[in-house]
Amino acid sequence: MDRSAAPVARGHGSRAAGVRRDPRTVRAAYERFLGTGEPPGGIDPVVADSWRRSLRSGVDPDTPHPQVALADADLAAYRAAHPLAGVMPVVRELVVDGAADDGLVVAVSDEIGRLLWVEGNRRLRGAVDRVGFVEGAVWGEESVGTNAPGTALATRRAVQVLGAEHFSRPVQELSCAAAPIRDPGTGRVLGVLDVTGRRAAATHVVLSLVRATVATVERELATRAAAVPPGAPADLRVLGRPVLRGADGERRLSLRHAEILLLLAEHPRGLSADELAVLLHPGELSDVTVRAEVSRLRHVVGALLAGSRPYRLARPLSTDADGVREALAAGDVGAAVDAYAPLLPRSVAPGVEQLRAELSAEVRAAVLASGDGGALDTWVAGVDGADDHAAWSRLLAVAPAGSPQAVRARARLTLLDAELG
């Protein structure tokens, strides 16, 4: 970032009193933080929190290591199937076309920070290439530390990161502004729009441009969703009995069809017949059987399934499990545990069992960490928490002495202790 760039307010609100964003102050705080680990006072709280997360993740401040998970043909296929592919013409018209003249680079990522499109000024493209800011690379905080796309995903809000506020030193010559792009129907984050540059990217104007472009993109996504023919499926319930919800109402699904839809929703790049077979059956499942199941499913869901292989969804399919994850990401543990139920509880498909265990572990960890008596009470009342000794102990610790919660928790712990010897 150019040293003459003026401090700007961050996308989530006005700059707090006493917060400094000039390069000299930020760089001094950064070096002090790396050397001592002490809380970086006077730094924007969003940046300070991100520095702490970056340090805990073990990010090397001198050598960022963005993972390049997709390249060439795999990247092209993944991008073509991504829900943001259809709105890239809008992004190009609003921001990319002018980026080349303004010395900026525009990037659009998916929901984990994988860069799908990186376009704009050719000279700056060379500079960002050298730090690994390339198509197919994952720019989450856990890989490269504080940066606008990664921090926007971590905080689920628009952010602007100026020069030395980046955690990785090789990136500190750049500034960037980014905002999440959400599915208008479900609120699920589909990806991030980012604008990166030097001095030109450190202004209020760029942050405003990013937010305005995201708003336009989300309106375009809403318009496209509204244009889907009646009966097109929009949401899959997998927490409990499987149901497919669409514009024409609900339809029940067989367990196998729900398993296939869930696995494809979790693997937007698509799955080959062999991959799907391994995820669906603990033993051997022939390609012929998989093809037959997918063919039957196609008769149920129609255009939701793409026509080509690998098997994939033609457009995103949200699930109620996504809603639980969104609530956890937002820090709303109560909403997450209220919405939670075991994922397709009758399924023995290995891929589904893994997803079920992961979701259960995420909710349990959040409930235990929260110390929220109501959330704990809901958790132990459910199937997963009924025999959860740690959860009952936590509930006993936080419940008022002599309250019905405390009495019930003590009684349950006595039974569990007896059962466990």
Report the mean per-residue pLDDT for the chain: 88
Sheet of 243-246: strands edge to edge?
249-252, 243-246, 233-237, 318-319
Q: Say which CATH number the domain at 202 has.
A: 3.30.450.40
Contact 32, 131 (CB under 8 A): no
Final residue belonging to a domain, choices 226, 252, 282: 226
3-class secondary-structure state, position 108: strand
Same domain for 149 and 277, yes or no, is no
Nearest to 61 by CA among 1, 178, 147, 124: 147
Given this model, what pLDDT does residue 13 score?
42
Confidence band for 247, pLDDT divided at 50, 70 and 90: low
Given this model, what pLDDT does residue 234 score?
57
Given this model, what pLDDT does residue 3 score?
37
Give 160-210 pLDDT, tens digit per residue.
999 999 999 999 999 999 999 999 888 889 999 999 999 999 999 999 999
Evaluate whether residue 199 is within a structural domain. yes
Whole-number Å distance between alpha carbons of 138 and 181: 17
* Burial 105-139, CB ≥16 within 10 A → b, else e: bbbbbbbebbbbbbbbbeebbebbeebbbbbbbbb
Give the count of beta carbons closer than 10 Å to the beta carbon of residue 27. 16
3-class secondary-structure state, position 225: helix
Confidence band for 228, pLDDT divided at 50, 70 and 90: very low
3-class secondary-structure state, position 229: coil
Give 355-382 pLDDT, tens digit per residue.
999 999 999 999 999 989 999 999 999 9
Q: What percent of the chain has pLDDT over 90?
A: 62
Given this model, what pLDDT does residue 14 score?
42
Same domain for 195 and 241, yes or no, is no
Given this model, what pLDDT does residue 4 score?
37
Burial of 146 (0-12, 13-18, 19+ CB in 10 A): buried
Q: How far is CA 30 from CA 44, 167, 173, 293, in A?
A: 12, 8, 14, 56
Region of residue 42 (left: phi > 0; alpha: psi -120 to 50; beta: else): left
- DSSP H helical ranges for 179-254: 204-226
Q: What percent of the chain has pLDDT over 70?
A: 92
Confidence band for 65, pLDDT divided at 50, 70 and 90: confident
Final residue belonging to a domain, choices 296, 318, 340: 318
Report whether pLDDT(101) > 90: no
Q: Which of 10-14, 17-21, 286-290, 325-329 has the lowest mean pLDDT?
A: 10-14
Same domain for 416 and 342, yes or no, is yes
Report whether pLDDT(272) > 60: yes
Evaluate whether residue 13 is within a structural domain. no
Same domain for 222 and 193, yes or no, is yes
Confidence band for 284, pLDDT divided at 50, 70 and 90: confident
Evaluate whether residue 12 is within a structural domain. no
Given this model, what pLDDT does residue 214 score?
96
Same domain for 246 and 359, yes or no, is no
Q: State the first-to-last Cα distance of the chain, in angstroms, to the nearest integer.
A: 63
Report whether pLDDT(265) > 50: yes
* Burial 226-263, CB ≥16 within 10 A → b, else e: eeeeeebbbbbbbbeebbbebeeeeeebebbbbbbbbb
Whole-number Å distance between alpha carbons of 93 and 55: 38
Given this model, what pLDDT does residue 9 score?
38
Count of domains in the chain? 3
Nearest to 302 by CA among 263, 255, 343, 248: 248
In this prediction, residues 268-297 reach a mean pLDDT of 86
Given this model, what pLDDT does residue 64 score?
80
194 DSSP β-pair partners? 107, 178
User: Which of the two residues, 286 and 134, has the higher pLDDT score?
Assistant: 134
Burial of 369 (0-12, 13-18, 19+ CB in 10 A): exposed
Provide the residue range defining the domain that includes 290. Answer: 233-318
Same domain for 204 and 240, yes or no, is no
- pTM for this predicted structure: 0.55
Evaluate whether residue 15 is within a structural domain. no
Alpha-carbon torsion 339, 348, 277, 245, what sign? negative
Q: How far is CA 34 from CA 1, 28, 105, 145, in A?
A: 20, 10, 29, 13
Same domain for 108 and 83, yes or no, is yes
Whole-number Å distance between alpha carbons of 289 and 273: 9
Sheet of 175-182: strands edge to edge?
115-120, 105-110, 189-197, 175-182, 159-161
Same domain for 356 and 414, yes or no, is yes
Given this model, what pLDDT does residue 414 score?
94
* Vertex 136: Cα angle to 174 and 155 (nearest 5): 60
Report whether pLDDT(307) > 90: no
